Structure 1
Amino acid sequence: MRTFKYKDYEITVHTEPKYNPNSMDNLPYDKVIPIDVPFDDFNTCFSLNIEKDGESTSVLIIAPHYISVESCVLPHEKGLFMLLDNFVCLFDVEAKEIVKKVDLEPYGTTERPYIYGEDYIIHGEMNIYRVSKNLEIKWQYSGRDIWERYRGPEPAFEMKEDRICLYDFMDNYYELDYDGNLIFEKENPYQVNPYIGKKQANNEQKRPDDSIKLREYRNGTRNPLRLLSRFFKGRNS
C-alpha cells in the first residue's frame, strides 16, 4: 500500500484481485476504469481509495499485466502520474478520472518511473524516456540491448545528480545527461551472450557444439516422425 497527499485529499493505492464485469464475485467499487485491456486474467488491477472530509471513494484501475503496483504511481501537481506499461496517464483526483493518456510506443515493456524536477524519467526494457508533466516525450534513448543485467554488482539503471548510468544485457556501459545526450560509452570487449557463449575480443561468437541428443534429433535417429514411419514400415513388411 502506498499513500499520497493532494490538496485536502489522501489517496492510498492497493493491489486488487482480477475484475470481470460479468462476475458476481467482484469487490464493490465506486468507479471502474479499464486502460485499453480486455476483461480477462491477463491484466493487473489496483484501486485508488480517495478520502476527503471523512468521505471515501474507491476507483479501480484495470491496467496492462506488465506493471508494478508498488511503483507505477507518482505524485503530480494536478493529481497522480501513472505509468501503465506503454501508457503514461494523468489522473485528476478531484474529477476521479484519467484526463490524459499518451502511448509511449516502446519496444518491449516499461519498468518504472522516477521524478526528475517537474518531469519524469522512465526506465523501459528497451528505451529510456524523459516525459514532461504535460506527458510530452522530451527525448528517448535505446542501446544495443535491453536495459537489464544478469551479472555485475552495479544496477542496470541508476540516476545520479548530473547523469543517468546504464548497463545493457551485454554489459555495455552508457552515461546520458538529462537532456538525453550520450556523454560516455564503454563497449564490453568480452561480451557474454548466455544463449550462445562467450565472445573474445575481436573474435566471432561461436555456437557451442550441439548436444548428443540434439544431433540425434537432427539426423533423424530420434525424430518422432521417422520413428513412426519405421514402425509402420515394419508392420507392412
Structure 2
Amino acid sequence: MHLERSTYIIDISLEQFSEYGEHHDIKQYISGEDLYNVLVVACSSIDEGIISKVVVNATGIILEPHEDRMIIEDKSIILCVGGDICCLNLHDLDLGWRILADDACCFSIHRYNNGYIVHGELAITHISLKGDIIWQFSARDIFVTYQPVENGFVIENDIIKVTDWQGFEYHLDKNGNCIKEFKC
C-alpha cells in the first residue's frame, strides 16, 4: 500500500519474516511468536528520500495493509498489526506505543471521541490517543458475519453498531455500554 501525506511517503506491505530476519540495519518491533508474516513499513520524506524502515510483528493474524487498518496523524501512523495497535513516529518510525486490542485480529481502526475505536474479532476497544485502553466490549460471539451484512460495523452519531457471528446487532454508547441489542 502506497500513501502520500503532506511531506511523507509511506509504503506498507505484508511480507515473510525470512526476508527481513537477517537485516540488522532495519528496526524490528517483534512481539508475537509467529514470525511467518510481518508488516514492513517504509517512510520517506519528499525532500530527503528514505528516512526509515521497520518490521512489525504481533500476536494474532496479521492482515494485508488497508486504509481501514491505519490512521495517519500529523506526526505518527497508527496501525492494526494482528491483535495489536502500534503507533509509529513518522519522522523516524520509532515505536511510540503498542497495545494489545484483540487476542485474535484487528480488522479496522477509527478516530472516535479523542481517541480510537478498534473493530477486533473478539472485542471492540476504545483506546486513548496515548495508547491506553479506555474500555472494551465483547459479546456472545465473534464480530464477524458468515452472511453479508450491509453494515457489520458502523459508527453513527457516536453510537457504535456491530454485528456478531450469530446475527446479533449491538449498539454501544461512547462509554462502551450496550444500549440496544437485537437479533437481525
Shift of 1:34: 3.1
Aligned residue for 2:44?
A: 50
Which of the two has higher C-alpha Rg? 1
Aligned residue for 1:5?
A: 5
| 1:82 aligned onto 2:76 | no
* Cα distance in 2 between the residues matched to 1:167 and 1:186: 10
Aligned residue for 2:112?
A: 116
What per-residue deviation string (whole Å, max 9, x for no partner) do you get for residues 204-223 of structure 1? xxxxxxxxxxxxxxxxxxxx
Aligned residue for 2:153?
A: 157
| Maintained 8 Å contact 1:129/1:140 | yes
* SS class of match (1:94): coil
- TM-score, length of structure 1 as denominator length: 0.65
Q: 1:22 to 1:69 in 2, by over 3 A?
A: closer
Structure with larger RCO (C-alpha < 8 A, sep 6+): 2
What per-residue deviation string (whole Å, max 9, x for no partner) do you get for residues 33-90 of structure 1? 23224684x2223222321423322403232442331243311344111221222222
Aligned residue for 2:95?
A: 98
% same residue: 21
Q: After superposition, where does 1:1-237 map in structure 2 within 5 Å? A: 1-5=1-5, 9-15=7-13, 17-20=15-18, 31-37=26-32, 40=35, 42-64=36-58, 65-71=61-67, 72-104=69-101, 106-187=102-183
Q: Name whichever structure is richer in strand by fraction.
A: 2
AA aligned opposite 1:33: Q
* Cα distance in 1 between the residues matched to 2:134 and 2:34: 33
- TM-score, length of structure 2 as denominator length: 0.82
| Maintained 8 Å contact 2:106/2:118 | yes
Question: Which ranges in structure 1 are unaligned for 5 or more consecutive residues?
Answer: 189-237
| Maintained 8 Å contact 1:102/1:135 | yes
| Maintained 8 Å contact 2:42/2:50 | no
AA aligned opposite 1:32: K
* Cα distance in 1 between the residues matched to 2:149 and 2:34: 40
Question: Which ranges in structure 2 are unaligned for 5 or more consecutive residues?
Answer: none
Q: Name whichever structure is richer in helix by fraction.
A: 1
Q: 1:169 to 1:38 in 2, by over 3 A?
A: closer
* Cα distance in 2 between the residues matched to 1:17 and 1:141: 31
Aligned length: 180
